[in-house]
Amino acid sequence: MHKFENCLVVGISSRALFDLEEENQIFNEEGVEAYTNYQIEHENDLLKPGTGFALIKALLKLNEIGSEERKTEIIVMSRNNADSSLRIFNSIKHYNLDITRAALVSGALLSPYLEAFNTDLFLSANEEDVQEAINAGVAAGIIYTQHLAYDEVNEIDQIRIAFDGDAVLFSDESEQIYKSQGIEAFQANETKNARKPLPEGPFAKFLKTLSAIQKEFDKNRAPIRTALVTARNAPAHERVIRTLRAWDVRIDEAFFLGGMSKQEVLKAFGAHIYFDDQAIHTDATAEFVPSARVPYKNNENQSDLE
């Protein structure tokens, strides 16, 4: 019996993996029957790579490094039914992606199956599915499907994953102080609690899993590189650094921007995916790097801190 306890499990929707924008428009305008018929009629037509394709392909390559034990498992998780999915699997085979598992739920919610697959990360363009995943305690992001062109020649040799801080890696507890009381109260709270680790946010477990994989390699040769890109600045930076130290996780690069725009930093870092809780940031960064917005648990209101 195959178990996923010791590897990184990523669930990804077919629309996040492949370019299905035309097909999604058919679904929205004409309904599920028209969509299914279209997919069956075109099931021998290969799909183009989508926003998450390069990241997934690079994650799968981790299984070729080092020990025989698999480091990553990718699960296609889709609201498609089995009858309309052959085109997706034909495309997976064409691109030689080592993906053999899928959850095809015919329009039902995917969230109940995330735990069944021990999912560490879920990527989808469907906001409802991502919201339900976050509510269930799974790291998840609404991926932008205005994907950048896939470079088949220059493949990823080091995966670069970037995170926002509050409400992503950390809880939104401090951010709520900013929202309700302002920047001075926020800075005072972070200074006062500098040695008290921040509570975990939705992506804390995912970061810890990445860090565990990194520790299997020499620091200068690790196939994954991470970055924290946050609007925090001094003196609020200290609590973040001490929190990561308390978690015993490795962040390779950290940027405390104090309100500066994030897109140029992310472009320079070369992020293959960036997670942020605010659309004002992901709307901008998606033009430069693949980006995903992390919704608040239970649809809580977002603040303007980051």
- As a whole number of Å, the end-to-end CA separation of the chain is 44
Nearest to 161 by CA among 242, 243, 257, 228: 228
- Residue that the structure tokens 């039914």 belong to: 81
Secondary structure (H, E, C), 268-287? HHCCCEEEECCHHHHHHHCC
Catalytic residue among 120, 164, 172, 277: 164
Q: What pLDDT does 5 receive?
A: 66
d(CA 32, CA 81): 10
What is the longest distance spanned by two Cα atoms in the chain?
63
- Number of CB atoms found within 10 A of residue 173's CB: 14
Q: What pLDDT does 301 receive?
A: 43
Angstrom CA distances, 253 to 187, 214, 271, stand at: 22, 14, 12
Q: Pairing mode, if any, of strands 159-163 and 291-293? A: unpaired
d(CA 144, CA 126): 10
Q: What pLDDT does 151 receive?
A: 66
* Chain centroid to CA 256: 21
Nearest to 67 by CA among 216, 239, 181, 271: 216
Q: What pLDDT does 3 receive?
A: 61
Phi, psi of 293 (to 5 degrees): -90, 135
Type of residue found at 222:
A
Nearest to 160 by CA among 9, 289, 293: 289
* Chain centroid to CA 153: 24
Known active-site residue 164: yes
- Residue that the structure tokens 């930093």 belong to: 265
| Element (DSSP H or E) covering residue 295 | none
Contact 246, 170 (CB under 8 A): no
Residues of the chain with pLDDT under 50: 1, 300-306
Q: What pLDDT does 2 receive?
A: 56
> Could you tell me the domains of the chain?
8-143 (3.40.50.1000), 159-299 (3.40.50.1000)
> Rounded to 5 degrees, what angle do the CA atoms 244, 247, 252 make?
45
| Token pair belonging to 275 | 């997670």
